[in-house]
């Protein structure tokens, strides 16, 4: 029976070794809850680190640790202290975390940490590959394991792999500073589906893939040589019922915690005062220091609220061995002390500060008692605290103030959205929240609660898994025309047994891979020899048909006795003959069009004009990918309008726009060449839209092949130029 394999840095359990006995306690965090239906309820298995290093596990208890994890449907990955120091505390939290949260000043680029990150991802891959069976699905989580999808896909290309990033993905300008940016992107592209919390993160990722790896990127799809990768946004929800029921139970019970009694004393002594809640991990991305300064500014700007508000601030310890976090704690301690010292009175302290973790029951105390939640992260992937606060407001009162930099802000527009760096705005918004009528609070929270109840964490997990399965169907449809070994064997057999055969070969992107400078794409010795060998076979004709100009094509192939067709069919050079124009064409239109192309070259860095006898081409392969596509769209519209009444056409090739006489194209050229010739085997191969005319116009019995994964009129496709070279070698080996 097929299963889902979930992989994360940590397993969803806590392991403790006491009195030589191993105890495993399931976690109750957001991810563990959300994945319950995928993990526990549907034959799933979870792979990750136990939280104990190899050095911390006595040798005689190793089997007990494994057994304890297996009982929880988990499989452990064994990591050393050195692994954790380099992979987790090093690269994950001193490189990826600050960089992806735009704290470049805290980002470290250490080669040793990177190598540790690679090594640990490989360790995870080994465990995963040992446990994959046919039909399984893999779901990898978060920034610690961004190399893992490609490591798995390399060994098991048949397995569907999903990846979800739980932190922001930064803009291209930030991401490009990472020395190992290509490796990270290639690692992620081992996935079939990549999920993000927001569309912004998805857009940043696609932009980086386009600019750095130069892959073809559609709306939310990346076309690789052998498959399509989908990127999409899935805002993570919470276990809404858990928080709502806990809040309802809290309101009904008489057994109150010590914390709740302290909160009640505040309410009893100052019944009109408002409590403002701040809950975060102690992390520089959460904007806690700015929040305190903004609160201080609020008390200065609106002194009438002194002794009428109190900030209840819970900072949960996090990564306390990282220097930046130690400095941050010192800064927070000093700020709290200074603000309390500045504003406190005998009966009032403006800030209650807790630096510790709190049990779930105490969180409910805070959520249900505080009138306002103030959450101001500088950058945050989602921020589930905002959702938890709203879920616990059983009477639908309460005001959420939320940073626009949190992923949750895009779903929670009914909250009061602020810029976390704008103290003036935060102060004014605090005043607005304090004075907001209950009717307005209820109106806003009704919408929020309805949305959060509907799109909870289980719905999030279900949506992702459904989308992951859909990518398989999408790939199956595209791969239906991929040339298999059986089809290749049938084609080679037909080639061998045919009495008269012809091969039409496109050049750029087919016989040779694209290069930044088109002049550097001359054929290598192996290619020249292969084509020459095929041409020498009895009753065999090779035709190279290209958009290249005749002078370049002729000089490259001057020593090989083959037919050449240049400029998409304008010029033809038969074996042993001279170049001749295939039709009477005019080129007086070029003086009108050339200045238009020159303007686009001036406006678009990296582009250039290629001038041929009867056509002009605007190349934009070296331009910024996004700008190049935008300019290509603009230029195409201008040229099509210009050419509407002039018998001209615009060819949209692979990163090139070419304007030429509309009556000339590769399809017409090949049909004229084979007209009234009794070829018993016909073959054509090409990589872009200019070759589609050739595929469409050749007879049905012809073998037509597209290079690359694209929509095409060809019968088959192959992955890349290496695969084309392989096919040529097999043709050359036939007698």
Give the three-state DSSP class for 683. Answer: strand
Question: 655: exposed, middle or buried (C-beta count within 10 Å: 0-12, 13-18, 19+)?
Answer: buried
Catalytic residue (one of 283, 506, 549, 691): 506
Residue 582 to residue 572: CA distance in whole angstroms: 7
Residue 581, judged by CB atoms within 10 A of its CB (0-12, 13-18, 19+), counts as middle
Give start and end residues of each alpha helix (H) in 274-318. 288-301
φ/ψ of residue 170, rounded to 5: -75, 170
Burial 299-318 (b: 16+ CB within 10 A, else e): beebeebeeebbbbbbbeeb
By C-alpha distance, which of 398, 392, 391 is closest to 437?
398
Cβ distance 560 to 527 under 8 Å? no
Beta strand 608-611 with 580-581 is unpaired
CA angle 284–289–294, rounded 5-degree value: 135
Pair 565, 546: CB distance under 8 Å: yes
Beta strands of 11-98 (E only): which ranges?
A: 13-18, 21-26, 45-49, 74-77
CA distances from 152 to 5, 683, 735 (A): 12, 36, 41
Is there a contact between 653 and 473 (Cβ–Cβ < 8 Å)?
Answer: no
Region of 98 (left: φ > 0; alpha: ψ -120 to 50; beta: rest) is alpha
Dihedral of alpha carbons 483, 487, 492, 495, sign: negative
Half-sphere exposure of residue 301: CA atoms within 13 angstroms, side-chain side: 15
Q: What is the 3-state secondary structure (H, E, C) of 440-492?
A: HHHHHHHHHHHHHHHCCHHHHHHHHHHHHHHHHHHHHHHHCCECCHHHHHHHH
Output the CA torsion sign for 169, 172, 175, 181: positive
**3-state SS, residue 174:** helix
Q: What is the DSSP string of 407-440?
A: GGGGT-TTSEEE-TT-HHHHHHHHHHHHH--HHH
SS (H, E, C) 349-395: CCEEEEECCCCHHHHHHHHHHCCEEEECCCCECCCHHHHHHHHCCCC
Bridging pattern class, strands 648-652 and 681-686: unpaired
With b for 16 or more beta-carbon neighbours within 10 A and e for fewer, the 522-546 pattern comes to ebeeebeebbbbbbebeebbbbbbb
Decide if 708 contacts 687 (C-beta within 8 A): yes
Helix (H) or strand (E) holding 230: strand 228-233
> What is the token pair recorded at 98?
């600050």
Does 506 participate in catalysis according to the annotation?
yes
Tokens at 104, concatenated:
């470049």
CA 78/CA 93 separation, integer angstroms: 20
Q: Give the residue among 724, 697, 612 at the shortest CA–CA distance from 658.
A: 612
How far is the C-alpha of 48 from the C-alpha of 473, rounded, in Å?
Answer: 29
Just list the catalytic residues: 506
């Amino acid at each position: 029976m097929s299963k889902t394999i979930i992989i994360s840095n940590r397993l969803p359990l806590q392991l403790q070794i006491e009195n030589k006995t191993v105890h495993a306690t399931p976690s109750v965090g957001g991810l563990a809850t959300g994945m319950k239906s995928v993990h526990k309820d549907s034959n799933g298995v979870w792979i990750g680190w136990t939280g104990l290093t190899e050095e911390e596990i006595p040798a005689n208890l190793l089997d007990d640790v494994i057994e304890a994890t297996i009982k929880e449907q988990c499989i452990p990955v064994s990591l050393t202290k050195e692994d954790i120091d380099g992979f987790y505390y090093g690269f994950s939290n001193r490189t990826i975390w600050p960089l992806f949260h735009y704290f470049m000043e805290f980002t470290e680029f250490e080669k040793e940490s990177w190598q540790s990150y690679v090594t640990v991802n490989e360790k995870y891959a080994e465990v995963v590959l040992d446990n994959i069976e046919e039909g399984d699905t893999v779901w990898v989580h978060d920034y610690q394991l961004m190399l893992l999808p490609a490591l798995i896909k390399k060994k098991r290309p048949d397995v569907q792999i999903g990846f979800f990033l739980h932190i922001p993905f930064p803009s291209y300008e930030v991401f490009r500073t990472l020395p190992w940016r290509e490796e990270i992107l290639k690692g992620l592209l081992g996935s079939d589906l990549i999920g993000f919390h927001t569309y912004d993160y998805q857009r940043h990722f696609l932009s980086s893939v386009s600019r750095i790896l130069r892959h073809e990127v559609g709306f939310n799809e990346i076309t690789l040589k052998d498959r399509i990768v989908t990127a999409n946004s899935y805002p993570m929800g919470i276990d809404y019922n858990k928080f709502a029921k806990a809040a309802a139970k809290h309101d009904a019970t008489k057994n109150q915690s010590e914390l709740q009694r302290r909160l009640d004393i505040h309410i009893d002594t100052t019944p009109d005062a408002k409590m403002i809640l701040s809950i975060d991990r102690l992390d520089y991305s959460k904007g806690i220091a700015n929040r305190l300064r903004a609160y201080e500014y609020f008390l200065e700007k609106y002194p009438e609220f002194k002794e009428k508000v109190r900030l209840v601030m819970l900072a949960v310890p996090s990564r306390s061995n990282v220097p930046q976090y130690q400095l941050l704690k010192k800064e927070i301690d000093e700020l709290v002390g200074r603000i309390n010292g500045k504003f406190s009175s005998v009966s009032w302290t403006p800030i209650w500060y807790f630096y510790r973790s709190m049990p779930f029951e105490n969180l409910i105390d805070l959520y249900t008692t505080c009138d306002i939640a103030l959450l101001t992260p500088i950058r945050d992937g989602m921020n589930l605290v905002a959702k938890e606060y709203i879920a616990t407001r059983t009477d639908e009162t309460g005001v959420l103030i939320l940073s626009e930099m949190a992923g949750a802000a895009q779903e929670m527009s009914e909250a009061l959205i602020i810029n976390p760096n704008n103290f003036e705005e935060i102060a004014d918004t605090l005043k607005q929240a304090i004075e907001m009528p209950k009717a307005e609070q209820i109106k806003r929270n009704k919408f929020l609660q309805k949305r959060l109840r509907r799109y909870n964490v289980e719905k999030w997990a279900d949506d992702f898994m459904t989308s992951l399965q859909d990518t398989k169907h999408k790939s199956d449809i595209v791969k239906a025309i991929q040339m298999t070994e059986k089809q290749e064997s049938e084609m080679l057999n037909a080639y061998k047994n045919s009495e008269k055969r012809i091969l039409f070969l496109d050049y750029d992107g087919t016989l040779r891979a694209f290069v930044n400078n088109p002049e550097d794409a001359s054929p290598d010795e192996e290619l020249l020899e292969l084509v020459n060998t095929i041409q020498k076979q009895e009753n065999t004709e090779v035709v190279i048909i290209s958009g290249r100009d005749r002078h370049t094509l002729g000089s490259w192939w001057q020593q090989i006795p083959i037919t050449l067709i240049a400029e998409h069919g304008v010029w033809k050079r038969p074996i042993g003959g001279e170049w001749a124009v295939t039709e009477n064409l005019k080129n007086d239109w070029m003086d009108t069009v050339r200045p238009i192309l020159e303007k686009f070259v001036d406006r678009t860095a990296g582009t250039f004009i290629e001038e041929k006898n009867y056509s002009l081409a605007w190349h934009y392969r070296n331009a910024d990918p996004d700008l190049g596509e935008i300019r290509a769209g603009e230029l195409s519209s201008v040229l099509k309008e210009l050419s509407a009444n002039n018998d001209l056409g615009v060819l949209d090739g692979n990163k090139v726009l070419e304007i030429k006489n509309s009556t000339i194209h590769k399809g017409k050229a090949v049909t004229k060449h084979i007209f009234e010739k009794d070829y018993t085997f016909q073959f054509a191969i090409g990589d872009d839209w200019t070759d589609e005319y050739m595929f469409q116009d050749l007879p049905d019995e012809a073998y037509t092949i597209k290079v690359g994964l694209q929509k095409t009129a060809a019968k088959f496709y192959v992955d890349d130029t290496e695969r084309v070279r392989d096919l040529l070698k097999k043709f050359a080996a036939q007698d």
